[in-house]
Amino acid sequence: MAERSFKAEVEDLRLGAGETFTGEGILALTKALLENGVGYVGGYQGAPISHLMDVLADAEDLLGELGVRFEANANEAAAAAMLAASVHYPIRGAVTFKGSVGVNVASDALANLASSGVTGGALIIVGEDYGEGSSIMQERSHPFAMKSQFWLLDPRPSLPTIVKAVGDGFALSEASNTPVMLMVRIRSCHVTGSFQTRDNVRPSLTVRDALSNPRSDFARVVLPPMSFAHEQDKVKNRWPAAERFILENSLNERFGPADAPVGIVVQGGMFNAVIRALQRMGLADIYGDSQIPIYVLNVTYPLVSSEFLEFCQGKEQVLVVEEGQPEFIETQLGSFLYRAGSSVKLHGKGVLPMAGEYTGQVMLDGITAFLKQAAPAMLAAVVRAPNEDKPQIPDLSKTVPIRPPGFCTGCPERPIFAAMKLVEKELGKHQIAADIGCHLFASLPPFEIGGATMGYGLGPAANAAFDGGGERRPVAIIGDGGFWHNGLSSSFTNMAFNKSDGVAIIVDNYYSAATGGQDVMSSRADNASKATKNPISKALNGIGINWVRQIDRTYDVKKMRDTIREALTTDAPGPHVIVASSECMLNKQRREKPLRAAAIKEGRRVEAPRFGVDEDVCTGDHACIRLSGCPSLSLKRLDDPLRDDPVASIDQSCVGCGNCGEVADAAVLCPSFYRADVVHNPGKWEAKWAAFSARAIGWLQARRAAKRLEFGA
């Protein structure tokens, strides 16, 4: 069950020639693939391109009509390997995955693909989320393109440009027999706009057709001596062909006046930010017409020296806007100027920061600093934008607390780590390695469990150095998404092969939850096109891991605690694995809320559990909050003058999972939690009984109040 359905948007993918498509960039990408005769598409979900995979999954009927093969791959390496279909066959293929981490996982297949070269157009759509909106380490995909000699497109964040870049990418790939990366940033994926559509095109050669006429070419196999010839082919043939195509088809763009003493070179993906900064300075209008020449690199690799040097003619100083580090583009452009003996002075890192996201304010400050050095008269002559004189923004970093990510309300992973804290209180602190996924939030307060992660599916493998029979067993945490992505082969096979004595906890929430709730092999849902309902425990048994404990309700904190303790203290040899299963609460709410609302509207009886705290029982020590950390569990001050400390309180965001009470019971805390079932559309006898109970309770309260001593002023 994905985060959202795109069934309605999929109908827009059927728009034909002359019609107008309106929507997000990620949907425009999908439409562009179909318009350019793609033969097969694959990928692995992850921000900011998850919705591309979700759209394709919802559009399988349309893809089938066009003869397009779609596969949601097990990981990025499998997706990249899928592009092998374009090596021997003139079939256009595209795969997509998340930025630098996806490129890292897929690197082996991508490097081989770049070496052998392609016959059909091969496009890798990389969702680059560098900056403060990212959930990963701060790296760029650019150096991989340089290392393996992929051509890298970074189109301007506008729908017509993005759509054009897809067609240009396929054509560039075919013209140079080289795979092409199309980088789409968060801004590009979620920018909204419109473009004129074309008819969808059925691939000239489908994968089904190719199976009827197999081809092979030993010269494309990446083995000596062919691999040495591949390198020469890249330099002597593919690179010049790519440069010719870029120049002849004007893939890079020029804006602004032809002559000026200064200019700006910008990655395509940063163009909107540059234009907005110039607008705020009064150097561009609302339509994007700039008073400063701008050279937009929709192709950031390879850079074409002749085109850049032509742009620099007549200019004294040029600013390079390149987000992220190291400054690959700036260094290469500086090399072009040096080799040409040019006197143009190049600016970049210095007036702009070396690292970090180039936000609107960063861009404004950087371009202003450049113009103050290079063209102060230009700054003095312009009419200021009305919002230029802005009020000073106070520094709130000392007063506003940070808001790190955390578990959702009702998350079934929270009780796992509450149980782990209880075990560590008893047995002492353990070496704990984490993995990519929601469970990584346990490294933050209030749990502070696990402090390192080495990659998706590599949590248990990260503990290999500690698995040598020490005083305490090392513990690894991994999710079901990570298990099926890479964990089974790289972590658990490694544990089984090396007769590990460590403990691994697999957090099974039924989905690849952190990427949008897509199904995985062990999902409980029925999926018409995917194989689900394959238990993780069976896969573990299949590779020789026999000590496996299955827990089907993680909210049972006592059972979780006892099972973790058993895994850490048992004399049984071999890897010790706990599969802790409960459905992701977000997906559960997405599934159940519409059904519950419909039932209530139809007048059917519905019970909804709610939890609360008895203020008279709560002691106010807040141990329950420190052990559960649920966002719905907060503090409340009482009107009682004899009680200064606030008590625990559950707000309206509670989803009724019961974790707070389970934790309090397992840790032997105060019994202040209670459950109340809210009944919608009760029966006649229930309504009468509720009315009688209310009258009886009201009479008892009035009777007690009448006996209470009161002291007047």
Q: What is the pLDDT of residues 48-79, one digit of tens each?
A: 888 888 888 888 889 999 999 999 999 999 99
Inter-residue contact 514 to 436 (CB < 8 Å): yes
Between CA 292 and CA 277 the distance in angstroms is 12
Q: What is the mean pLDDT of the segment spanning 249-271?
A: 95
Instruction: Say whether pLDDT at 642 is over 80.
Output: no
Separation of first and last alpha carbons in the chain = 64
Residue 635: per-residue pLDDT: 87
Residue 666: per-residue pLDDT: 87
Residue 167: per-residue pLDDT: 97
E-state strands within 312-353: 317-321, 345-347
Q: What is the mean pLDDT of the segment spanning 33-54?
A: 90
pLDDT band at residue 191 using 50, 70 and 90 as cut-offs: confident
pLDDT band at residue 389 using 50, 70 and 90 as cut-offs: low
Inter-residue contact 68 to 97 (CB < 8 Å): no
253 φ/ψ angles, rounded to the nearest 5 degrees: -125, 155
Average pLDDT value over all residues in the chain: 90
Residue 386: per-residue pLDDT: 53
pLDDT band at residue 664 using 50, 70 and 90 as cut-offs: confident
Inter-residue contact 687 to 647 (CB < 8 Å): no
Q: What is the mean pLDDT of the segment spanning 555-578?
A: 95
Residue 189: per-residue pLDDT: 84
Between CA 8 and CA 24 the distance in angstroms is 13
Statement: 605-705 belongs to CATH 3.30.70.270:
no
Q: What is the mean pLDDT of the segment spanning 10-34?
A: 92
Instruction: Say whether pLDDT at 142 is over 90.
Output: yes
Q: What is the pLDDT of residues 152-189, one digit of tens each?
A: 999 999 999 999 999 999 999 999 999 999 999 888 88
pLDDT band at residue 515 using 50, 70 and 90 as cut-offs: confident
Handedness of CA 245, 251, 252, 256 (dihedral sign): positive
Instruction: Say whether pLDDT at 272 is over 90.
Output: yes
Between CA 661 and CA 648 the distance in angstroms is 12
Residue 298: per-residue pLDDT: 97
**Residue 291 one-letter amino acid:** Q
Q: What is the pLDDT of residues 83-115, one digit of tens each?
A: 999 999 999 999 999 888 889 999 999 999 999
Ramachandran assignment for 658, one of left (phi > 0), alpha (psi -120 to 50 degrees), beta (any other): left
Instruction: Say whether pLDDT at 354 is over 60.
Output: yes
Topology classification of domain 414-587 = Rossmann fold (3.40.50)
Provide the 8-state DSSP code for 349.
Answer: B
pLDDT band at residue 37 using 50, 70 and 90 as cut-offs: very high
CATH number of 19-193+215-248: 3.40.50.970
Residue 131: per-residue pLDDT: 77
Residue 621: per-residue pLDDT: 83
**Domain range list for the chain:** 19-193+215-248, 253-381, 414-587, 605-705
Residue 293: per-residue pLDDT: 96
Residue 388: per-residue pLDDT: 54
Q: What is the pLDDT of residues 365-386, one digit of tens each?
A: 999 999 999 988 887 766 555 5
Which of 172-176, 204-208, 590-594 is most confident?
A: 172-176
Instruction: Say whether pLDDT at 687 is over 60.
Output: yes
pLDDT band at residue 437 using 50, 70 and 90 as cut-offs: confident
Output the six-digit token pair for 324.
């992220």
Residue 147: per-residue pLDDT: 93
Q: What is the pLDDT of residues 462-488, one digit of tens each?
A: 999 998 777 899 999 999 999 999 999
Residue 382: per-residue pLDDT: 63
Whether the domain at 19-193+215-248 and the domain at 605-705 fall into the same CATH topology = no
pLDDT band at residue 7 using 50, 70 and 90 as cut-offs: confident
Between CA 51 and CA 57 the distance in angstroms is 9
pLDDT band at residue 391 using 50, 70 and 90 as cut-offs: low
Q: What is the mean pLDDT of the segment spanning 678-689?
A: 90
Between CA 16 and CA 200 the distance in angstroms is 7
Q: What is the mean pLDDT of the segment spanning 19-27?
A: 90
- What does pTM read for this prediction? 0.87
Residue 476: per-residue pLDDT: 95
Q: Computed over its alpha carbons, how large is the radius of gyration of the chain?
A: 30
Ramachandran assignment for 549, one of left (phi > 0), alpha (psi -120 to 50 degrees), beta (any other): beta
| CATH architecture type of domain 253-381 | 3-Layer(aba) Sandwich (3.40)
Instruction: Say whether pLDDT at 495 is over 90.
Output: yes
Instruction: Say whether pLDDT at 562 is over 90.
Output: yes
Q: Which residues contact 398 (CB under 8 A, 6 or more apart)?
A: none
Instruction: Say whether pLDDT at 126 is over 90.
Output: yes
